[in-house]
Amino acid sequence: MSTLRLTMSQALVKFLDNQYLEIDGEEIKFVEGVFGIFGHGCVVGIGEALQEPDHSLKFYQGHSEQGMGHAAIAFAKQNNRKKILAVTSSIGPGALNMVTAAGTATANHIPVLFLPGDVFACRQPDPVLQQIEIPHDYTNTANDAFRAVCRYWDRIVRPEQVMSAALNAMRVLTDPADTGAVCLALPQDVQAEAYDYPDDFFAKRVHRPGRRPLSPGDAERAAELIKRKKKPMIICGGGVRYSAAGEELAKFASDFDIPFAETQAGKGVLLWDNPLNLGGIGVTGTSAANEIAHDTDLVIALGTRLNDFTTASKWDFHNPEVELLSINVSAFDAYKMNGMPLVGDAKLGLADIRKELGNSGYKAGWGSQVKDAIEVWTAENTRLYTLDDKEAGFAQTKVMGLMNEGGIPEDAIVVAASGSLPSDMQRLWRTRVRETYHLEYAFSCMGYEIAGALGAKIACPEKEVYCILGDGSFWMLNSEMFTAVQEGLKINIILIDNNGFHCIDNLQASQGIPHFGCEFRYRNPETGQLDGEYIPVDYAAMVKAVGFDSYRAENSGEFSAALEEARAAEKPVLIDCKTARKSMTGDYGAWWRVGTPEVSRKPAVVKASKENRKNAAKAKQY
């Protein structure tokens, strides 16, 4: 057997450079590059291997470990999980900083390979700089924190172990049902140890996950269930996008007059003006989607995790005859909420059910209800897009309108993640080009937005990329602005400055609790609380020092002008929007269960708690 003597790190880099994915006959290089921040735990091991010129992996310098992890997530998400970036860091704090990103990847079913450095396997230089010592378990290091948030975790304590570990990593990363974060912890001494690896370990390897068909009889059973129902609706989840099932969904909905609503991950699979598109559903949903959800007698959950925002805490479906049919490549998700679980690929599953149902002449019995509900919502959407400016500032919803109605290119990618903006985006954004709506909302991770925009731009350098975030998220994580400047990648940051975490402030107030700790105010010496004047920040001035072009918009006219100038700019851009506080969208027929105190000195809190218990009693119990 022919062998090649390499260090473990050199072998891992060479292996990663030869991984390919085949989807529907198309062969794609799977690992495009590596994000990294070098420290003593990785710079002379995997860092040396990456520095060598005998591979094609592009290296990107991160500026916060969490940020580069988020960029890698966005890169894979924008590529519909067909390409990935690996992420490497030093031990201790560098590694722990990536745990949040790993959780974000796993919650969203997005493949990312994390390669944190680790303490010495030999334990001779012990304890090393940045090592956490756990007296009761000396095998436990900072990297064990990844176990809770990864789909696959391994520690390479001998150089030959990298072969089985790397193969298992690829097994998980390329599996549409099981994908998410993968962590291979790399002790710094083992990174540099050599081994005679068999040549075939480095041969070109093509992973063919294929499409999982439904089990025999599943399509027939699903068709029989649908035929018994008069008012079915579809929830389009992210699995529809990753399965490339958009065209099949459009045919299915049209053939049987079945309306569909969108999750955050499923939005943009079909365009906003499809006559059966109800828009977002649930807590961040439209009045149209929630009205239909209240009345439906069959929910067809297609490629969705059915989280509490999508189902309005399992409350959204009021019809006593309602049943659930779930089609998902993941059995774990298909079995949720006690429905009829169909485990299989969304595209194949829909096609099989359409074939079974097509012979029956079935049509849903919604009459004009769907059309009427969509018309009412479209009028409300337009109203929110065109609100007049007020003395306190212009509306956050008008920011959406000015961007969406010609302010940015139709094929631009928009990125968001947390706060009130995902609510506004899911309700109001009119997707005109498929796969341009990029929301991270499974983890709702503050700080994803700027790094996510960078990752999306790396994935699609030919497109304009806009991230929309609040000032709260901006302060959480903005370090990858420097990477954008460094790489010459133009991203556009639309910063909503409303002086605080107003999404959570709204939740706090809605449960009868006085405003407390959510707004960006000076500490008041008289009260001792953070209820002084709002803190003014000139974000436009701040980012110029990094190398961004920037604009300050006090009103909608200035914002429109800034959007126009930004389109012509070559450098990264930030537009500082001084919007009116509390100018986001409201509620549209949904409920969200939160833990409101049953006992409180505040009567409004006790009242809200009683209302929560009343709604909880109406929710489906599974």
Of 165, 241, 208, 238, nearest to 28 by C-alpha is 208
Q: Which residues, listed in sequence order, are joined to residue 205 by a DSSP beta bridge?
A: 19
3-state secondary structure 306-355: CCHHHHCCCCCCCCCCCEEEEEECCHHHHCHHHCEEEECCHHHHHHHHHH
Pairing of strands 31-36, 84-89: parallel
Task: Check whether the bond before 259 is cis (ω within 30° of 0).
Answer: no
DSSP state at residue 569? -
In contact, 269 and 334? CB cutoff 8 Å: no
> Sheet containing 232-236: which strands, arranged edge to edge?
277-280, 260-262, 232-236, 298-302, 323-328, 340-343
Class of the CATH domain delimited by 3-207: alpha beta
Residue whose tokens read 């789909």: 151
pLDDT at residue 506 in the model? 87
Beta-strand ranges (E) seen in 120-269 are 152-155, 181-187, 194-198, 205-207, 232-236, 260-262
Angle at 267 between CA 327 and CA 382, to 5 degrees: 140
DSSP state at residue 534? B
pLDDT at residue 162 in the model? 98
Amino acid at 346: A
| Model confidence, pTM | 0.97
Q: Is residue 546 classed as helix, strand or coil in its secondary structure?
A: coil
In contact, 455 and 483? CB cutoff 8 Å: no
Q: Which residues, listed in sequence order, are joined to residue 493 by a DSSP beta bridge?
A: 467, 574
Residue whose tokens read 């909503």: 496
* 272/291 Cα distance (integer angstroms): 18
Of 155, 210, 209, nearest to 182 by C-alpha is 155
Fold entry, domain 218-368: Rossmann fold (3.40.50)
DSSP state at residue 98? T
pLDDT at residue 35 in the model? 98
Sequence-distant (≥ 6) Cβ neighbours of residue 478 within 8 angstroms = 450
DSSP state at residue 300? E
Q: Report helix, strand and coil shares of the chain as percent, to nearest 5.
A: 40, 20, 40
Q: What are phi and psi of 82, to 5 degrees?
A: -90, -15
Residue whose tokens read 């005109």: 432
DSSP state at residue 536? P
* 534/124 Cα distance (integer angstroms): 54
Task: Count CB atoms within 10 A of the CB of residue 583.
Answer: 22
Q: How many residues does the chain have?
A: 622
In contact, 295 and 319? CB cutoff 8 Å: yes
* 513/596 Cα distance (integer angstroms): 10
Class of the CATH domain delimited by 386-499+535-577: alpha beta
Of 551, 534, 533, nearest to 542 by C-alpha is 551
In contact, 285 and 590? CB cutoff 8 Å: yes
In contact, 184 and 166? CB cutoff 8 Å: yes
pLDDT along the chain (622 residues), means of 10: 96 98 96 97 96 96 98 98 98 97 98 98 93 92 97 98 98 98 98 98 97 97 98 98 98 98 98 98 97 98 97 96 98 96 98 95 97 98 94 92 96 96 96 97 96 98 97 96 98 96 88 91 95 95 96 97 96 96 91 93 92 89 80
Question: What residues does CATH 3.40.50.970 cover in the chain?
Answer: 3-207, 386-499+535-577
pLDDT at residue 620 in the model? 83
CB contact burial 398-409 (16+ within 10 A = b; e otherwise): bbbbbbbeebbe
Task: Count CB atoms within 10 A of the CB of residue 328.
Answer: 26
Task: Count CB atoms within 10 A of the CB of residue 537.
Answer: 16
Question: What residues does CATH 3.40.50.1220 cover in the chain?
Answer: 218-368
In contact, 262 and 374? CB cutoff 8 Å: no
